[in-house]
Amino acid sequence: MKTYKIYTYLFSFWGLFIFNISLSAQLDNTRDNWEQHSSDNNVTYLNTDNNKRVSIGSNFASPYADLTISGNQAYDPDTGLPNGGLMIMQQSDGTNHYSGRIGFHSGYGNWGASIISRHAGAGRYNFEFVTKHGFWDDYSESTKMFLTPDGNLGIGTTNPFILSRLHVVGSPTANSMGLSNTWPAVLARGGVSFGAAGNDNPGCWISSYNDINHDGVIDSLDIYNLANSSTIGFYTDRAAGGGGATPHMVIMGWDQNNPLNFGYVGLGTTNPQYRLDVCGEMRVKEIFFEDAWCDFVFYDDYQLPSLEKEAEHIQDKRHLLGFESEQAMEGQIKVLDVTKRQQQKLEEAYLHLIELNEENKFLKNEVADLKNEVQEIKSLLLKLSTQK
């Protein structure tokens, strides 16, 4: 029988307590291990095996790893400290008020990374993930991930937004956040999902997917052909408990088969053919087009089509001169092009109206002159009749 003395240090807000525990360890000659039992119920609290693995706690008589710790999840309501499991505590050095630190070492060089619980004041503690900067004897380090007592997580910042559960700050050499998926298909939505409170289903999500034929549905082409692997899809739930596999909005990525639609945005379509392709109704207050206008109609050298020519074209083609037929347009109306041509026809119509107005004024003057001449003839005839 061997006796070992283990000194247990407990740091708390009220001071430092040292407990001297005398353990009666029973040596097992058949294997290189020792155990410590309580004196009342003979439960194993500390045990090592012949592989130099250690277990601490009442539930693991044999260790499953280099260090196995078993304890209760509850805490002591009188002290606010856990009454089981593992607690790591460290004294303050006056500047950095750590409450505990776990360091990771590869056996090569200095400490590479640490997990720190740092005192934030008022009995509250942050949780920090720290990495080392330099090599060899460069001991400088910085916090790369920061969890506040309120549960807000900061990556690249130690001051995450108060109203944000996750706050990511990038750097000149790294993006703020990168998301990827190991399965290049529509249904493998490896992106960001958003859900409302009280609903376990994601309300909407954003993902990057592969869809070579732009049909919004997973098929063999999508799985085995990675020609287009960066299209971004915006999805929404159709109803509670069910989601749509077809995105409601897409931003096209690079497609080696159709490189011209790179960056095209589709609303209601997974295969946009224009910079903004909307399949459905759209409500706007104003649209601004950037293009030349139709003032050339009023230039002196403009050849104004005659009304006779317009009438002949309408009679023959059944549509205005300068426009395609309904069949030729195939149901596609280019608003800016049609607006400009309509404006051109409107300006031509005004020129014809101006010309007709000048002719009308000339005819009115002619009629007035004729009325005067008729009146003079009537007066002369009346005078001749009275002289007889």
Task: Specify the range with the lowest mean pLDDT, choosing from 26-40, 312-326, 363-377.
Answer: 26-40
Looking at the structure, tell me whether residues 214 and 148 fall in a common domain. no
**Residue that finishes a domain, picked among 52, 87, 122:** 87
Q: What is the model's pLDDT at position 4?
A: 42
Instruction: Tell me the mean pLDDT in the region 253-277.
Output: 82
In a domain, residue 77? The reply is yes
**pLDDT at residue 8, as a whole number:** 40
181 within some domain: no
Whether the per-residue pLDDT at 79 is higher than 70: the answer is no
100 and 81 housed in the same domain: no
Q: What is the pLDDT of residue 298?
A: 94
Could you give the dihedral angle defined by the CA atoms of residues 265, 269, 274 and 280, in that order, rounded to the nearest 10 degrees? -100
Domain residue limits at 347: 295-375
Q: Is residue 380 part of a domain?
A: no
Dmax (CA) for the chain in angstroms is 173
Q: Is residue 356 part of a domain?
A: yes
Residue 286 falls within a domain, yes or no? Answer: no
Looking at residue 252, what is its pLDDT? 84
pTM: 0.54
